[in-house]
Amino acid sequence: MKYVLILGGVISGIGKGVIASSTGLLLKTLGLKVTAIKIDPYINVDAGTMNPIEHGEVFVLNDGAEVDLDLGNYERFLDVTLTRDNNITSGKIFQHVIEKERRGDYLGKNVQTVPQITDAIQSWIERVARIPVDKSGEIPDICIIELGGTIGDFESAPYIEALRQFQYRVGQENFAVIQVSLVPVLGVVGEQKTKPTQATIRQLRALGLKPDLIACRCSEELEARVRSKIALYCRVELEQVLSVQDVASTYHVPLLLKDQGILNYLTKRFRLDCINITPEWQ
């Protein structure tokens, strides 16, 4: 099983969901089976009790679970059927750990965020990643994990730590990170600014995760000079910096990513050399 973790920096609502779905779709065109998990670090057990004006519409899965809209994106982009467990919330994780504690499963141990909560997160991901999500009934090859919110949020700290540990649990060659960042275009001169991206990548590294791909959301295509600057200051190769500019329809995002070689990078990174990287639709 290979895992692709999508994180966001600088601001929320930056397009993580669309990039997660698009990456999954592209991997699927290689003939791989793709599933997805959305992590929402809020304490609500699910989105059913949340105000739609503040949070957006709730998406209802086939099993009746009321979940974040992103699960709807995954189902549409990936043509899969997900279950309530594909949406992890802090409410669900806490409930699970507290039920175990009440049953005495921890054998008198002091139950803490590390390791009990972080272990519960890792086991949940590993279990759900293996649930078949399409008609074939086969175990997926790739699991896309999207962490909601923004890197550095107080609420997401246990998830970042769990995922930091998780990369060693599953092996570095099976775990890739895509950090979605913002490149604002400032003022009348229209200059593309890289500082927020540099800061968010520094923060990511400080938390023990390193970016495989930096997906830069920008109102316009990244200039070559800006791309080189991001690569240099964030210590990645040029091919690891992707421009994800505003497009008329989010269904164009997979093509944007594909044209910048995301599949070449991920197949190399995951050592999927046996895979024919010419997508089915070419």
Binding site for ligand ADP (CB under 6 A): 8, 12-18, 70, 244, 246-247, 250, 253
CB 256 → ligand ADP: shortest distance, Å? Answer: 7
Give the span between the Cα atoms of 195 and 183, in whole angstroms: 8
Nearer to ligand ADP, 14 or 121 (CB): 14
As a whole number of angstroms, the distance between CA 78 and CA 94 comes to 29
Complex with ligand ADP: residue 206 or 247, whichever CB lies closer = 247
Shortest distance in whole angstroms from residue 249 CB to ligand ADP: 8
Closest CA to 113 of 98, 134, 132: 98
Residue ranges of E strands in 68-224 = 87-89, 142-147, 175-182, 185-186, 191-192, 213-218
Nearer to ligand ADP, 13 or 208 (CB): 13
Please report how close the Cβ of residue 153 comes to ligand ADP at its closest, in angstroms. 13
> How far is C-alpha 280 from the chain's CA centre?
24
For ligand ADP, give the closer residue by CB, 174 or 258: 258
Strands laid side by side in the 2-8 sheet:
87-89, 34-40, 142-147, 2-8, 175-182, 213-218, 241-245
Minimum distance from residue 113 beta carbon to ligand ADP (Å)? 25
Q: How many Å from the N-terminal Cα to the C-terminal Cα in the chain?
A: 26
Residue in 196, 212, 155, 240 with CA at minimum distance from that of residue 14 = 196
Q: Quote the distance between the C-alpha of residue 136 and its chain's center.
A: 24
Closer residue to ligand ADP (CB): 173 or 246: 246
Residue 30 vs 39, nearer CB to ligand ADP: 39
Q: How far is the CB of 142 from ligand ADP (least distance, A)?
A: 19
Give me the least distance between CB of 16 and ligand ADP, in Å please.
3
